[in-house]
């Protein structure tokens, strides 16, 4: 049971929060940003916890005056499903994606946000460069149909991006329910990008999808494997398309997916990206919302936050 906060407190709701770099990074960021006395608390819940646990947690955040908000990882969809009715305000992206990655308070009202579509877009643009899909005709293969894949596919498939959209999006998952949810969400997005929803109960099933992708495709580990649980959604025998980009949304853990990509990097000319930049954008977007401050998403100000993070316990493996 959580005890009432005695200082302005930001919560981190996840699975193994004590292992995250943010526990060392946030105090240094708070000093840099002038967030006097602000602190961070981790809340660990098992994967797909009892809905009653999610409801108790949200009710606590709503009622405790100095509990200002939270960043949610892993449990984004489950919290929305279990406790969405407890929020006074649901932002449009949270309503569309049916996930909660940020909880904040405004004028006594509890607000839920989906910040991942913004954070994932910022991270993608930082390493893809301008007009990547328009130039290459690349596809996207996202393994895992949870909140991160919802956010990333929303960002990439919108008709407002013009020609700079993937030639095809493939999303795989080990169970059908999340694929069905993703299909329903995509049906409400103005998009002409074809999407395949593939049931892949075994890593070899993902290998088969990977082998069919065109050159330079973006391949994403959005499963949590390598951080929340050991392993990779691929086998070591997976055949990569030439020039593909391997993006692991994790930056810590055993990172087997990235090790698999590195083993084929020279042969196939792969580019490899871990989740460090995504981590930075995800947290800065939430901190800005919870504490009601403006934070830069690029330029010298963002670079300063990145340097502080690395110097304060952030560990980047790329």
Q: How confident is the model at residue 317 (pLDDT cuts 50, 70, 90)?
A: very low
Q: What's the confidence (pLDDT) of residue 19?
A: 86
For residues 72-76, average pLDDT: 92
Mean pLDDT, rounded, for 17-33: 93
Hey, what are 79's tokens?
């919290």
pLDDT digits (tens, 9 = 90+) for 240-249: 999 999 999 9
The overall pTM is greater than 0.85: yes
Q: What is the DSSP letter of 243?
A: T
Q: E-strand spans in the chain?
A: 9-14, 39-44, 67-72, 89-90, 102-106, 109-113, 140-143, 169-173, 195-199, 218-221, 245-248, 271-273
Backbone angles phi, psi at 141, to 5 degrees: -120, 110
pLDDT-derived band at 313, boundaries 50, 70, 90: low
């Amino acid at each position: 049971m959580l005890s009432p906060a005695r200082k302005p407190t930001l919560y981190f709701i996840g699975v193994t929060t004590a292992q995250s770099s943010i526990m060392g990074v946030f105090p240094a960021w708070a000093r840099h940003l002038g967030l006097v006395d602000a602190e961070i608390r981790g809340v660990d819940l098992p994967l797909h916890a009892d809905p009653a646990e999610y409801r108790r947690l949200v009710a606590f955040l709503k009622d405790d005056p100095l509990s200002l908000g939270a960043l949610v990882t892993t449990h984004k969809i489950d919290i929305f499903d279990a406790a969405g009715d407890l929020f006074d305000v649901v932002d449009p992206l949270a309503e569309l994606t049916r996930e909660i990655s940020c909880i904040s308070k405004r004028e006594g009202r509890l607000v839920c946000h989906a910040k991942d579509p913004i954070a994932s877009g910022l991270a993608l643009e930082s390493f893809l460069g301008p007009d990547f899909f328009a130039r290459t005709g690349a596809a996207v293969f996202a393994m895992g149909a949870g909140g991160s894949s919802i956010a990333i596919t929303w960002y990439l498939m919108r008709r407002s991006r013009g020609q700079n959209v993937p030639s095809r999006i493939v999303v795989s998952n080990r169970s059908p329910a999340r694929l069905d949810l993703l299909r329903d969400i995509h049906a409400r997005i103005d998009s002409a990008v074809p999407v395949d929803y593939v049931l892949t109960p075994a890593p070899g099933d993902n290998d088969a999808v990977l082998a069919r992708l065109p050159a330079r495709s973006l391949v994403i580990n959005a499963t949590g494997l390598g951080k929340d649980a050991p392993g990779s959604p691929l086998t070591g025998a997976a055949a990569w398309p030439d020039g593909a980009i391997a993006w692991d949304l994790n930056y810590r853990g055993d990172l087997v997916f990235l090790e698999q990509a590195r083993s084929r990097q020279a042969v196939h000319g792969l580019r490899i990206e871990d989740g460090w930049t995504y981590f930075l954008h995800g947290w800065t977007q939430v901190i800005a919302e919870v504490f009601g401050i403006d934070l830069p998403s690029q330029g010298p100000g963002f670079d300063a936050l990145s340097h502080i993070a690395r110097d304060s316990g952030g560990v980047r493996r790329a």
